[in-house]
Amino acid sequence: MRDRILTLLLFLAGIALLFAPPLAGGQTFTPTRFAVTVEGLPKGPAVLLLPGLASSQSVFDAEAKLLVPSYRLYRVQVAGFAGAPAAGNAAGNVLPGLVDELHQYIVANHLHPAVIGHSLGGLLGLMLADAHPEDVQKLLIVDTLPFYALVFNPYATVDSMKPQGLAMRDQFIKAPDKDFAAGAAQSSNALVNDAAAKYLVTAMATSSDRTVFAEAMYEDLTTDMRPRLASIKTPATLLYPYDAKFQGADPVGVDTMYKSAYAAMPNLTLHRIDNSRHFIMYDQPAVFDAQVQAFLNK
């Protein structure tokens, strides 16, 4: 009789556990604004890789091959970029939506990753470290300005950029496919030196969801993180490129732009990568790997 009662109690306990809400330690989260490829050493240190505007997670392919023996990689593919379905990003508010879901993903998976972000991914890393400093162990920013509009106008403000940004957003959305593809190919010449990589960069842009791409570009242009930099205490490294053929023989202006833009951010180390354009991982893969390894080993 006692055994029957014990069996019944165990059965009822199992039913209760089956229908009970998950505990904090076992919570799950399925993002709608990005997908994640997880690979590498199962118990290795976590590294979160964030690609840039219109980019695929494949921009980190070469680096990932070098990291998988020692690290657990979480490679993000933003919805709507590089052929991925628009999914949750079709609703707009792309950047804040991504930051919110990245936070939820990190918490649900009990991560405290080193974050590596290229371009728009670097901005997302900054926003994440600002909004949720407990999420980011350290941050590697790859050619990102805290206010992208500085590239066009050193005196730009969010308010001054909104009309221009809205016009650009609408123009991108309405442009015929042929014209958009031609513009993407032309832009790739300014973004990367490597010939094969130019084709890849163009293909990623032209296969992106046009509305998501245009909205993310607009939000990037009108997001100014400079007032928040002083409060971001996360240890960080910034890599920025310099190409004399493209930017002139004197790198002082390039150095000044990045150093002044990030002047208020503590715990930041800056490294200029020569003979490279925006996609440092394509133009200087060995140098990029050395910088990534140095960052992860700090």
| Residue type at 55 in one-letter notation | S
Q: Give me the chain's average pLDDT, please.
A: 92
Output the pLDDT for position 27: 57
For residue range 97-127, list pLDDT tens digits in order. 999 999 999 999 999 999 999 999 999 999 9
**CATH match for 25-146+225-296 among 3.40.640.10, 3.20.20.70, 3.10.100.10, 3.40.50.1820:** 3.40.50.1820
Label the pairing between strands 268-274 and 138-142.
unpaired
Which regions in the chain score pLDDT beneath 70? 1-27
Q: Quote the percentage of the chain above a pLDDT of 70.
A: 91
Kindly report the pTM of this predicted structure: 0.91
The domain spans of the chain are 25-146+225-296
